[in-house]
Structure 1
Amino acid sequence: DSKGNMIIKKAYLDPFLDMYNGEILAFRVSERPNSKAIMEALEEAIERTKDCPYRTTVHSDQGWAYQMKAYVKKIKDNNIFQSMSRKGNCLDNSPMENFFGIMKQEMYYGRIYHSFEELKQAITNYIYYYNNERIKAKLAGMSPVEYRLHTSRLAA
């Protein structure tokens, strides 16, 4: 603000993570929780997985967004199975919570972002890095995208 005090604002990240390789398939960052951002990310995730030969399952917590009629309808219309953790049980959503923890540790904690746009760009850059460059031991030392491409070549 004009007196030099730091103003704390929030950003909301709505990502869809592929549990096969840990890749973030789609995401939106917004200044407030809103259905438009979640539905856009869901539609992008559906588009990216439409050729998947296996049943698609979307895991989530019991947040309001994942209980919206439009969200539930979009999932059903695309023959996607919805898995929602019981109240107080985060097990279904633990891969997503793990991603949030890693992301905060690697690009958020200890840094000051001076605007929403700066933070949004940092998140976008981080997700690109996470998907394309950050290697994982459980993916044979490959990034999520490298692993997906490698295993799809093996299957062909």
Structure 2
Amino acid sequence: MARKRWFWIWGPAAILILFIMAAQTGTAIAQDAIKIGAVLPLSKAAFAQAGEEQRRGLLMALEEINQAGGVLGKKVELIIEDDTGEPSVGIAAAEKLIARDKVVALIGGYSSTITYAQLNAIQRYEPFVAWVGASSTKVEHEFGPKRWFFHYHPW
């Protein structure tokens, strides 16, 4: 149990660092802040605890990074959306983060069903994506070879 708890708290923090490394692109440099999006299960009872653990881990990492001066002298901004346990909401949240909020990277992916729906919808944008959950091998087999998709799951 302690191992799983450690993963859900510090796993997102490690992935946030990878996002920041990926954010060192022309788009990110031109912005005032480096924007990263997270789609998490925050309100569905079955997944809300895991989503809250991810959210807290990301916010801890974000605070530490920004207190140290950010990345390339720019603050990192984290925009969090709730997928509510519904694939259609998860798709809309991911598309909003990419198209409207202009994030350079996405994190999330707790539910395999929602993750699969999101990835099918967002693959036309090809943002840097790191999912920490979604244990279905269907997700890994279809999206694993994509150069923009990274799947971190403690099988």
TM-score range, shorter chain: 0.3 to 0.5
Bigger Rg, structure 1 or 2: 1
Which of structures 1 and 2 has the larger relative contact order (alpha carbons within 8 angstroms, sep 6+)?
A: 2
Q: TM-score, normalised by structure 2?
A: 0.35
